[in-house]
Structures are given as structure tokens and as C-alpha cells.
Amino acid sequence: MIVRTVTTVAALTLREAARRRVLRSLAVMTVALLSLSAWGFSRLDAEFGGFTSGEARVAGSTVLNLVMFGLSLIAALGTAFLAGPTLSGEVESGTALAILARPVRRSAVLVGKWLGLVAFGSGFVAVAGLAQLLIVRVTMDYWPPRPVTGLALLAVQTAALLTLGLLLSTAVSPMASGIVAVGLFGATWIAGVVGSVGEALDNDSVARVGTVSRMLLPTDGLWRGAMNSFQDPALLLQAGSGIGESPFLSMAPLTTTYLAWTGLWIAVVLGLAAVAFQRRDL
């Protein structure tokens, strides 16, 4: 009964997400970004004459990470503003009351909605990310060493943010939950940049800012793991070791411990959302 409820709600949530206007906005922004990146990579290839030097390949890898960050930001915006209306919006409109009037557990409804949103976000990352990788392949003849790992980490990043959005939507309005989630996403990324500067300057206090932020909200840590999967480590060696960490270059892959922490973080936040939704007045 519970499994059937979860799968049914997940399918309905996925169908509803596909009908919302935010999907059209995502499509427009994605097509614009892909078109701009195709033009940019073609110009980059013409400027450097192909991958004829280590510096040119580093430039191509860095620009790829820049565009991928744009795609992850679009995914973050879409899922954050979908999570709020999916739960809080139905409560405010009275739709949730009609559904939960039956012998249906609130936790099952919440998990079903979460699965539907995760499927939506993961599908977007897979399609848009693969399209971007094909553009880089055609324009600059470059293919990342671990593209599947990179796209998977971006999908987990999206799942983490929409989980946070669901938790926020149990306490505040749909619009507010989306704004807060995206704001925290941006703040964590900025904190990660600050931490990278601290690492470059051998300042442990400043570097700790990035470390702590990645533990509190793992989106930036997942993004850096994805960057490492999209770039060729040999490029950094060819260009010299003076590059170090930067907002669009990552020197090391994610550890198993951090991936386990991310999974635990998502599970805990989803559990808190279930508890908050269970206690919320409809």
C-alpha cells in the first residue's frame, strides 16, 4: 500500500512538473546557454587552433566547467521553485487536504513527491549535460575523462537542493522557500570560493570557511567533484602547478566519506521534512 502510494504520487508529481510554466523557462534558458556555449567553444577553437598546447586545453576544460556551472544553476533554480509549490502550494490551495483525507500517510506522499522531483531534476541534468558534452566534442574534440560521474554528481546536487526546498516549504510560502533555497545555494558557492582563496594563500582560517559550508550544505562540494570529473588532470600538470584551486577548476575528486555524508545529509533533511509535514495543520 505504501509503495503503491509512493510510486503513484511520484508519477503524478513528475507529470505535474512537466506541465508547469517553469519547465518552459528552464527550456528557454537551457537552449540559450547551449547556443551561447556552442558559439563560444567554436571561437575558442578558432583562437587556439585546436588543442595544440597545454594552455589551450586548460582553457577548454575551464570553459566547460563554467558552462556546466550555468547548467547546474539552471537546474537549481528550477527544482527549488518546483519543490515549494509542489508541497506548500497544495496545502494552501486545499489540494493536500483532499488527498490526505483518505487513509494515506503524509510521509508516503512526501517521499513520492520527492522521488518525482528527483526524477525530473536528474532527467534535466542528464539531457542538458549530455547535449553540452556533445557540443564540446564537436567544436573542440574534447571529451571529459569521467562524464557519467560528473553528471551523476550534478544530479545529486540537484536532489540535495530540492530536498532542502521541500523542508523549507513545510514552514514558509512556496516563493519564500525557493528564494531561500537558491540563496543558500549561492552563499555556499561563494563560501567555497572564499575557502579556495584561503587554500591558495595557506590561510587555514579562511580555508575552513569553505570546508564548513560544504558540510552544512553539500551542493558546492558536489559541484567541485563534478568539475574534477569533467576536466582532465593532465591539463593542470601541463599548464603548471601554479593554478591551484579556483571557482572553475578542482584538483581532487570527492572522497567516499564525503559522498556518504551527502547521502546521510539528504536522508536527514528529508526525514525532518516528513516530520514537519506530519505536524503541519492542513
What does the pLDDT look like over 27-41, one tens digit per residue?
A: 888 899 899 988 888
pLDDT reported for residue 152: 95
Mean pLDDT is lowest, of 36-45, 52-61, 89-98, for 89-98
Does position 199 have pLDDT exceeding 80, yes or no?
no
SS3 69: helix
Segments making up each domain of the chain, as ranges: 2-279
The answer to whether residue 275 scores a pLDDT higher than 60 is yes
Judged on CB neighbours under 10 Å (0-12, 13-18, 19+), 149 is middle
Whether the CA torsion 19, 25, 30, 32 is positive or negative: it is positive
Say which amino acid occupies 278: Q
The residue behind cell 598546447 is: 53
- Give 108-164 pLDDT, tens digit per residue: 788 888 888 898 889 999 999 999 999 888 887 778 889 999 999 999 999 999 999
Q: Which range, of 66-75, 85-94, 119-128, 136-145, averages the lowest pLDDT?
A: 85-94
Comparing 6-10, 94-98, 118-122, the range with the smallest average pLDDT is 94-98
Q: Which of 146, 82, 150, 152 has its CA nearest to residue 116?
A: 82
Q: Which of 18-22, 147-151, 171-175, 202-206 has the highest mean pLDDT?
A: 147-151
Q: pLDDT value at position 236?
A: 60
Residue 193 has pLDDT above 90, yes or no: no
Work out the percent of the chain whose per-residue pLDDT is above 70: 77
What confidence tens digit (pLDDT) does each residue in 162-178 have?
A: 999 888 888 877 778 88
State which amino acid sits at residue 176.
A
Q: How high does pLDDT run on average in the chain?
A: 80
User: CB within 8 A of 152, min separation 6: which ones?
Assistant: none
| Residue 102 confidence (pLDDT) above 80 | no
The C-alpha cell at 152 is 551523476
> Would you say residue 106 has pLDDT above 60?
yes
In terms of pLDDT, which residue wins out, 15 or 187?
Answer: 187
pTM listed for this prediction: 0.88
Chain centroid to Cα 267, Å, comes to 17
What's the whole-number mean pLDDT along residues 17-33?
Answer: 79
Q: CA torsion sign, 39 to 44 to 49 to 50?
A: negative
- Asked whether the predicted pLDDT for residue 239 surpasses 50, the reply is no
The secondary structure of residue 86, as a DSSP letter, is I
Q: Is residue 83 within 8 Å of residue 166, measured between CB atoms?
A: yes
- Tally Cβ neighbours within 10 Å of residue 201: 11
